[in-house]
Amino acid sequence: MRASLIQLSVEASDSAGERRRRAAALVRGRAGDDLVVLPELWVAGAWAYDGWGQDAEAVDGPTAEVMSAAAREAGVWLHAGSIVERDTDGTLYNTALLFDRAGELRARYRKIHRYGFDTGEATLMGGGRAIVTVAADFGVIGLAICYDLRFPELFRGLLDAGAELVVVPAAWPAARLGHWRLLTRTRALEEQVFLLACCATGTHGGMEQAGHSTVADPWGTVLGEAGTAEETLTVDCDMAEVARIRHELPVLRDRVLAIGAPGSR
């Protein structure tokens, strides 16, 4: 399975329309790949809170329309990063969109863990409730977004739902690059999955993005890592490695799911 992570530069000077056109052109250029991934909130800007209301759209809105066409024209599965979704009741969500090779929307995932504590996403957006996996022609894809990386419970849920690879679009701050590198490898290793983490680059909303998009295998080995500039990272993943490694080191078989309270016997 050949995957390409398009590490977009999200700059404040670009309009939403310009970003869509540029991203679509880059996706169309990946014909022959199996899976293409874009970063988190690349249309609206993950740190540009003041513009989210203006840039919010429906799951069948302009970004979905352009990305669907790009996936169909390239013949790839396309994880279109995430958008600021406005639900019919007006609630905003950080929502990932996944299209198949025919351009059909096969899944959407509303980010469960919202970053910001008492500001930004945590206060302006609703939180998702559903774990989402999708069976593609190369394996079962699990969906997560950025801050979700810090919550292993979600990844165990994706594992239990059959995930063999997990895609994580992000807008991770450059100041915590060390955490990004550690967590991407850890989530791959502990779930024995391929972890494809596509981060934005550039500066938006005053926040410098980490870049360093990463692909890690089920051993936690980094198969490829981007730098800090806009670039496309392409990696070949042997999906048979998931079953082989789980058989060779069957740690998942030894999980204990019911652990008593302290002092219980």
Distance, in Å, from the CA atom of 24 to the CA atom of 79, rounded to the nearest integer, reads: 12
Pick the catalytic residue from 57, 85, 121, 146: 146
User: For the residues 150-177, what does the mean pLDDT come to?
Assistant: 98
Pick the catalytic residue from 40, 85, 121, 230: 40
Phi then psi for residue 170, to 5 deg, are: -150, 160
Global confidence as pTM? 0.96
Residue 40 annotated to the active site: yes
Pick the catalytic residue from 85, 111, 191, 237: 111
Residue 231 annotated to the active site: no
Q: Which two tokens stand for residue 55?
A: 């840039």
Q: In this model, does residue 13 exceed pLDDT 80?
A: no
Helix (H, G, I), strand (E, B) or coil at 81: strand
By CB neighbour count within 10 A (0-12 exposed, 13-18 middle, 19+ buried), where does 79 fall? buried
Interval 185-224: pLDDT, tens: 999 999 999 999 999 999 888 899 999 999 999 999 999 9
Phi then psi for residue 173, to 5 deg, are: -65, 140
Interval 32-74: pLDDT, tens: 999 999 999 999 989 888 889 999 999 999 999 999 999 999 9
Distance, in Å, from the CA atom of 5 to the CA atom of 196, rounded to the nearest integer, reads: 8
Residue 111 annotated to the active site: yes
- In the chain the domains, ranked by start, together with CATH numbers, are 2-254 (3.60.110.10)
